[in-house]
């Protein structure tokens, strides 16, 4: 079987339908979460496996165990223990990087080399391994996600620092507030009724979206749904109407082509744009202030250019007043 020229060697992963079936049947992921990972993978041009890991929907171990069930091969974690030096000598760095394989274990006495692959059924890689490695060596295969193999190569070959995610254990009877209602009475906070407005947040970065949703909930907006792309925005609005579309103005320009594309597919709610950097640095200006400054500057330039043509200047001023009156009648902001 010949591989396409554009496809890097060793870059195959589990068939998406198989992977999808196993992940959904486990109950760990919902259909919506997997579709979100697929959309993110297409947007970032990465594999679905890498998207699942980046979005913190799965971890290396859990994904590796699922791939083990798909291929009926054992999974061994690659990050916790380095491979023997003898295994790294047999599988050098360039070979591991090119073919996306990782030497897990080497038994010199039995001439047995255990190698982790993202797809143990990839005949081209298996054939290359058998043809390149010395004849006495017998090969045994385990499975791991391609993302974990890449990271293991960075750590165990190139010396990249690796800190495992700490597992926090909370005591069974641990509580922060024994009586929440009593605590509220002591603090005497003036609580505001939460808004019933439904907000759709268009934000490509997962961490920023999570922070914004937390802030919005704290400010009384509990009904906030997050989407990562204009395509997801269309799907979400077709499924459920929103009162406000809150958009990252730095990534999605107010008059950009993305807006024209999605507005042709669905009726959009009121759109509000945000740019966090000026707000956090205390440099923000209100829309009203910016509008008044722009109108004032425009009026100054028009008066300056037409100071010798009073008739045309008067006609322009009359039209401006008419437009302002029309805007008020239309309740435009």
Q: Tokens 């239309």, residue?
A: 330
Same domain? 275 vs 292: no
Contact 139, 133 (CB under 8 A): yes
Same domain? 153 vs 291: no
Higher-confidence residue of 202 and 316: namely 202
Strands across the sheet with 101-107, in order?
Answer: 101-107, 112-117, 138-143
**Taking the CB of residue 83, how many other CB atoms lie within 10 A of it?**
23
Count how many domains the chain has: 3
Same domain? 232 vs 295: no
Q: Tokens 């579309």, residue?
A: 245
Strands across the sheet with 224-227, in order?
Answer: 224-227, 199-202, 244-248, 270-274
The DSSP symbol for 75 reads B
Contact 209, 203 (CB under 8 A): yes
Task: Name which of 267, 222, 226, 268 is nearest 39 in CA terms.
Answer: 226
What does the pLDDT read at residue 155? 93
Same domain? 51 vs 157: yes
Please identify, among 117, 138, 162, the residue that sits at the C-terminal boundary of a domain: 162
Contact 180, 226 (CB under 8 A): no
Q: Is residue 176 part of a domain?
A: no
Two tokens, residue 103: 């030497």
Q: Is residue 183 part of a domain?
A: no
Give the residue numbers spanning the domain of 218.
194-280
Long-range contacts of 111-114 (CB under 8 A, 24+ apart): 111/136, 111/137, 111/138, 112/137, 112/138, 112/140, 113/87, 113/137, 113/138, 113/139, 113/140, 114/76, 114/87, 114/140, 114/141, 114/142
Q: Is residue 99 part of a domain?
A: yes
Contact 47, 182 (CB under 8 A): no
**Taking the CB of residue 210, how many other CB atoms lie within 10 A of it?**
13
The string of pLDDT tens digits covering residues 253-303 is 877 888 888 888 888 898 888 777 776 666 666 556 677 777 778 888 888
Q: With 90 as the cut, is the pLDDT of residue 143 above it?
A: yes
Q: Is residue 84 part of a domain?
A: yes
Same domain? 6 vs 131: yes
DSSP SS3 for 223: coil
Same domain? 252 vs 292: no
Q: Is residue 178 part of a domain?
A: no
Angle, CA of 11, 73 and 87, to the nearest 5°: 70
Q: Is residue 170 part of a domain?
A: no
What does the pLDDT read at residue 52? 87
Q: Is residue 155 part of a domain?
A: yes
State how far the alpha carbon of 79 is from the alpha carbons of 42, 99, 117, in Å: 27, 19, 14
Torsion angle in degrees (nearest 10) through CA of 286, 292, 294, 295 = 160
What does the pLDDT read at residue 289? 64
Rg (CA), the chain: 29
Q: Residue 275 sits in a domain of what CATH number? A: 3.40.50.2300
Percent of the chain with pLDDT over 90: 26
The string of pLDDT tens digits covering residues 168-204 is 566 666 665 555 555 555 544 455 678 888 999 999 9
The string of pLDDT tens digits covering residues 90-124 is 999 998 998 899 999 999 989 899 999 988 888 88
Task: Give the lowest-confidence range in 23-37, 183-197, 208-222, 282-296.
Answer: 183-197
What is the distance between the alpha carbons of residues 34 and 19, in angstroms, rounded to a whole number?
10
What is the distance between the alpha carbons of residues 282 and 68, in angstroms, rounded to a whole number?
52
Q: With 60 as the cut, is the pLDDT of residue 4 above it?
A: no
What is the distance between the alpha carbons of residues 228 and 230, in angstroms, rounded to a whole number?
7
Phi, psi of 78 (to 5 degrees): -100, -15
Task: Name which of 121, 40, 120 is nearest 75 in CA terms.
Answer: 120
Same domain? 301 vs 260: no
What does the pLDDT read at residue 3? 45
Task: Name which of 5, 9, 7, 4 is nearest 122 in CA terms.
Answer: 9
- What is the bridge-based pairing of β-strands 112-117 and 138-143? parallel
State how far the alpha carbon of 242 is from the alpha carbons of 45, 249, 268, 270, 304, in Å: 30, 19, 9, 9, 46
Q: With 90 as the cut, is the pLDDT of residue 307 above it?
A: no
Q: Is residue 179 part of a domain?
A: no
Same domain? 132 vs 207: no
């Amino acid at each position: 079987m010949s591989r396409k020229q554009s496809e890097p060697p060793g870059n195959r992963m589990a068939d998406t339908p198989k992977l999808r079936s196993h992940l959904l049947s486990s109950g760990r992921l919902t259909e919506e979460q997997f579709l979100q990972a697929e959309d993110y993978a297409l947007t970032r041009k990465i594999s679905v496996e890498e998207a699942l890991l980046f979005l913190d929907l799965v971890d290396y171990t859990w994904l590796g165990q699922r791939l083990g069930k798909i291929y009926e091969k054992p999974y061994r974690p690659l990050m916790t223990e380095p491979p023997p030096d003898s295994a790294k000598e047999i599988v050098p760095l360039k070979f591991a990087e090119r073919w996306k394989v990782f030497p897990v274990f080497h038994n010199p006495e039995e001439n047995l080399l255990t190698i982790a692959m993202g797809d143990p059924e990839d005949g081209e890689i298996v054939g290359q391994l058998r043809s390149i490695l010395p004849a006495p060596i017998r090969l045994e295969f385990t499975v791991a996600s391609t993302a974990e193999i890449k990271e293991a190569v960075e750590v165990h070959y190139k010396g990249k620092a690796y800190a495992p995610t700490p597992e926090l254990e909370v005591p069974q009877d641990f509580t922060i507030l024994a009586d929440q209602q009593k605590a509220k009475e002591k603090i005497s906070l003036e609580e505001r009724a939460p808004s019933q407005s439904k907000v759709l947040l268009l934000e490509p970065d997962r961490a920023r979206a999570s922070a914004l949703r937390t802030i919005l909930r704290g400010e009384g907006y509990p009904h906030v749904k997050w989407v990562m792309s204009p395509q997801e925005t269309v799907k979400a609005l077709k499924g459920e109407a929103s009162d406000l579309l809150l958009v990252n103005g730095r990534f999605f320009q107010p008059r950009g082509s993305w807006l024209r594309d999605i507005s042709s597919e669905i009726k959009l709610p009121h759109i509000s744009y945000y740019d966090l950097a000026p707000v956090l640095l205390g440099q923000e200006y209100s829309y009203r202030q910016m509008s008044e400054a722009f109108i004032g500057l425009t009026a100054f330039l028009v008066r300056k250019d037409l100071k010798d043509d009073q008739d045309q200047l008067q006609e322009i001023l009359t039209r401006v007043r008419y437009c302002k009156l029309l805007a008020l009648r239309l309740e435009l902001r």
